[in-house]
A and B are shown apart, each in its own frame.
Chain A
Amino acid sequence: MMMISKGQKRKVDDVVGGMRSGTWESQRQSVLGITLVKYHRGQELMEPSLRRSVLIANTLRHIHLENKPTYGLVNLAGPVPPMVPSKPCIHRESGLGVVNSASGVEDKEDVWMSSESDFSLSGAVSSILKELDLTVDGGLGPQAPQRTPFRSIENLSGDLGLKRSSEGCRTSEGVAFGSVEEVMCSSYLQDVKLDELFHDIDTSVFDKEMGVRALSAAASDELLKYLPSLSSVPSTSPSLFSLNQSFRDLNELEHIMEILVES
């Protein structure tokens, strides 16, 4: 049962016009970077704190939401790109986080940054909470049991059934990662999952939905700077993420999977 709070927290439209300045944007970027590093490090903690993870995930959501300026706000930072039809809702069920970039006047770089970071943010948010469920809850699964009052204490050893991811090409990997995770439960694999997520976004999204959008080297470098865990090898190619490491990890993972499946 989802907790419905009466005081639903503030809409993005409260963002004051003056905040859309360069310093605000740079603060947003640095908070985004810190948050992603935090999430990454949090996976390595012995004691994952649910409160901390939820707060970090919510911060990610806020960063992502606040990137959409309201109507009438003018970004003084750059030129005016063509308007993009907007639908300001987020489909969080989809692992890829399909979000259309907001309407409004945005810098070209901002649009690019927002769209691709929308995917990565929503995906990261999803993956944070998904993994929490796996590691903390012992895989009780998404089903809500019929609750009767005065129920006895719950048995902690829930079924280790594979979680059903909603959609997207993450599904099979999510499930596979889930079972591997439960067996091995190492942060290494969790790292791989995040890398893998970005890897997916990179190939499928930008090729199909973004069309031909020149990713400026400066922009990609900037993002790489804020994703230290992913960019172990400085890349001169226009791709955002260092795929080398992901590919290596993926190959190792496949190898492990083969062993597990055969045994």
Chain B
Amino acid sequence: MAGVGGGNDFQWCFSQVKGAIDEDVAEADIISTVEFNYSGDLLATGDKGGRVVIFQREQESKNRPHSRGEYNVYSTFQSHEPEFDYLKSLEIEEKINKIRWLPQQNAAHSLLSTNDKTIKLWKISQRDKRAEGYNLKDEDGRLRDPFRITSLRVPVLLPMDRMVEASPRRIFANAHTYHINSISVNSDHETYLSADDLRVNLWHLEITDRSFNIVDIKPANMEELTEVITAAECHPHQCNVFVYSSSKGTIRLCDMRAAALCDRQSKFFEEPEDPSSRSFFSEIISSISDVKFSHSGRYMMTRDYLSVKVWDLNMENRPVETYQVHEYLRSKLCSLYENDCIFDKFECCWNGSDSAIMTGSYNNFFRMFDRNTRRDITLEASRENSKPRAILKARKVSTGGKRKKDEISVDSLDFNKKILHTAWHPKENVIAVAATNNLYIFQDKIN
């Protein structure tokens, strides 16, 4: 795939936007996770209200060959409900923290969705045919009197309006004392891991009453706690390898073959701190909010507050690439600490060929970096740029005194409009960007 910048490279166009247009955003409608499935034909979103909405890509129509298939609603269901933990007098939010698709094994689709405490396996199946002409029952379902049947007929399959059904097939509960931040399906397609602030558990997809604890960083005395787990992921090809990141900016790679308890890491990734940029907030901004393996499995990418780093799994002492997402915020860290924005957890993602990476920012901006050309671009997800197939214009934040036309100054950025969740189609240049309660879909322009 070619690059992400302007010019000869691909140009990003608006394709669709899903969600309400109201200025008043209902808290429950805020999108909390976005994920394409393995083929890219399905796109799932989870929201704070515990609902999952799955979009399916329509087949390309012959009438409009220039437009790729659009994503339309395929299924909507309530995955998690709010709960109350009576023991601790705490509400358990129904917000969907993560969705991960399982590889498709039959006609049905399966995904894992999780809130803070409970992971559920949902099976989504569709019916678009029904049988007619039964011998033993009428069309309305009433049983026919066997003595009245004088002839036999073969039932026929007739098309019907497509009906999509989602049913919870497994519920993996009661294994996490702390809030689940990650789930990741293993490459063996039989197991998956779930991680909370202090522990990582390994599950078998068929077994719900038991999980293996493979990482535990809880100190004997909680007063000694200085570091939490922020994200975890299974290696895409080696089913014995996984990584987890921490709030101190470190990543540990573990091999499940080495020991049953992976408290000792196989590899430890940390970049030495730059003493000249040290501040009171150094630790907070080093906290890693997302970690993602490349599709190849050779690299992994981490997102901290101000940057995205690409690591070669064979080099632990520093990343091979560092991309600044919004360095202009470095001088504003105190204000961002005050208004809590400094704790925002941004995600990041690779494109299908690992040649580009994408992550979100504030003011509904999102950033893309081309690893080969080293070009980057800032785009905006907004209703103003929502004309069909309109090409997105590159945005720029002015950092100096002089603000050029079309630039926006740092102080004018809207920090309530944050893009935390983005997803890239596994094979094509189609991206999904969650902007609060709206889901934007952008595609490259077909010439």
> Are A and B genuine complex partners?
yes
Q: Which residues of A contact B (CB under 8 A)?
A: 1-3, 5-7, 9-10, 14-16, 27-28, 30-31, 34, 38, 46-52, 54-55, 57-59, 62-63, 66, 92-93, 125-126, 129-130, 132-133, 135-138, 140, 142-144, 147, 149-157, 185
Known contacts A5-B248, A10-B278, A156-B174, A47 near B219 by CB under 8 Å: no
Chain A residues whose C-beta falls within 8 Å of the C-beta of B225 in the assembled complex = 54, 129, 132
| Sample (14) of A-B pairs whose CB atoms are under 8 Å apart | A3-B227, A6-B270, A9-B248, A31-B337, A47-B179, A49-B179, A52-B343, A55-B283, A55-B284, A55-B287, A63-B280, A125-B223, A154-B177, A156-B174
Q: Report B233 CB to chain A, min CB distance, Å.
A: 17
* C-alpha spacing A197/B145, complex, angstroms: 82
Q: How many Å lie between the Cα of A136 and that of B177 in the bound state?
A: 7
- Chain A contact surface mostly: loop
CA distance A175 to B299 in the complex (A): 49
Task: State whether B88 touches A50 (Cβ < 8 A).
Answer: no
Residue in B closest to A3 when the chains form the complex, CB atoms? B217
Q: Does B198 contact A (CB under 8 A)?
A: yes
Instruction: Pick the contact of A154: B88, B175, B197, B259 (CB < 8 A).
Output: B175
Cβ 8 A contact of B210, one of A31, A46, A153, A157: A153
- The reply to whether B272 and A7 contact each other, CB–CB distance below 8 Å, is yes
Which residues from A are CB-within-8-Å of B224? Answer: 2, 92, 129
Residues of B within 8 A of A (CB): 87-91, 93, 116, 174-175, 177-179, 197-198, 201, 209-213, 216-228, 230, 246-248, 250, 259-261, 263, 268, 270, 272-273, 275-276, 278, 280-284, 287, 334, 337-338, 340, 343
Closest chain-B Cβ to A170's Cβ sits at a distance in Å of 12
B87 touches A156 (CB 8 A): yes
Question: How far is the CB of B155 from the nearest CB of chain A, in Å?
Answer: 47
Chain B, Cβ-Cβ closest to A144: B220
B247 and A54 form a contact (CB under 8 A)? yes
Return the 5 tightest CB-CB contacts between A and B, nearest first: A149-B260, A133-B222, A185-B89, A144-B220, A7-B270
Interface of B is mostly: loop
Task: List, in ascending order, chain A residues with CB within 8 A of B334's CB.
Answer: 27, 30-31, 34
B209 contacts which chain A residues (CB < 8 A)?
153
CB-based contact A50/B178 at 8 Å: yes
Please give, as numbers and ranges, the residues of chain A lying within 8 Å of B283 by CB-CB distance. Answer: 9, 55, 58-59, 62
Who on chain A is nearest to B175 by CB? A153
- Are A59 and B284 closer than 8 Å at their CB atoms? yes
Query: Are B210 and A152 in contact, with the CB atoms below 8 A?
Result: yes
B91 adjacent to A3 (CB under 8 Å): no
Q: Which of B222, B226, B260, B270 is the one whose CB lies under 8 Å from A137?
A: B222
When the two chains form their complex, are residues B222 and A5 in contact, meaning their CB atoms are under 8 A apart? no
Are A136 and B88 in contact, with the CB atoms below 8 A? yes
Q: Are B219 and A153 in contact (CB under 8 A)?
A: no
Closest residue of chain A to B265 (Cβ to Cβ) is A6
Given A47-B91, A136-B88, A62:B280 Cβ within 8 A: yes
On whether A50 and B90 interact (CB within 8 A), knowing A62-B280, A153-B211, the answer reads no
Q: Which residues of B contact A153 (CB under 8 A)?
A: 174-175, 201, 209-211, 213
Q: Report how far A151 CA is from B215 CA in the complex, Å.
A: 12
Q: Are B198 and A50 in contact (CB under 8 A)?
A: yes
- B228 and A137 form a contact (CB under 8 A): no
Pair B230/A51 contact, Cβ less than 8 Å? yes
Contacts of B219 in A (CB 8 A): 1-3
Chain B CB within 10 Å, residue with most, of A7, A31, A140, A142: A7
B179 with A1: CB separation less than 8 A: no
